[in-house]
Structure 1
């Protein structure tokens, strides 16, 4: 898959988007939890999470609480972003969290391993 460096830069160009990725890398968080943890407005959280989900850097999962209410949590989908400038080229390499090793680990844990 070809990665457009400009799209990557635009997805992480704001401090709040980088802070959201960092916070959601520890554990899935709702928009309200991100608002409180990062001390940014809920509007900013929603705008940034939408952009990060669109860029595939953040995953969203909607769950239903025991009371019947639904809520969405966000978790970071990217593990590593590397920018390389060499041999006359500018390259971006991205490693996503849900690669084969991660999926195997999830399966193993679900089996009690």
Structure 2
């Protein structure tokens, strides 16, 4: 993690609205409008929190096509937990993110290919 990134992540997830956005997107992908409807947070605030969460890869997004042919963005939580440990020089922050199933398959394949 980059220097001061751990503190920045703690500040982001320390915000109650950011946590509401993460919780709203934990089970299934949601549009910003759906997040706003579920949480009662204004749409502009939802977009600000999404940008902050995306900056630290705590949320992922993808484009979807609507029935009318328009495209819209949906967001999915990419955050599982944060661990903070005290060190001699200060503290260390470890952020556990969800693994993408494709990434897990590639890692498994690489591990299998590397064995004799």
Distance 1:6 1:62 in 2: 30
Deviation at 1:79, TM superposition (A): 1.6
Structure 2 match to 1:108: none
Deviation at 1:98, TM superposition (A): 1.6
Q: Does 1:42 align with 2:43?
A: yes
Q: Does 1:77 align with 2:78?
A: yes
Q: What TM-score do the two structures reach when normalised by structure 2?
A: 0.77
Distance 1:78 1:61 in 2: 16
Distance 2:87 2:55 in 1: 29
Q: How many residue pairs end up in the alignment?
A: 104
**Change over 3 Å in CA distance of 1:52–1:66 after alignment to 2:** same
Deviation at 1:83, TM superposition (A): 1.4
Q: What TM-score do the two structures reach when normalised by structure 1?
A: 0.79
Tell whether the 8 Å contact from 2:33 to 2:43 is kept in structure 1 after alignment: yes
Correspondences of 1:1-113 after superposition (within 5 Å): 1-2=1-2, 4-87=5-88, 89-98=90-99, 103-104=104-105
Over the residues paired in the alignment, what is the CA RMSD in angstroms? 2.1
Distance 1:6 1:36 in 2: 30
Which has the greater radius of gyration?
2
Deviation at 1:100, TM superposition (A): 7.0
Distance 1:102 1:14 in 2: 29
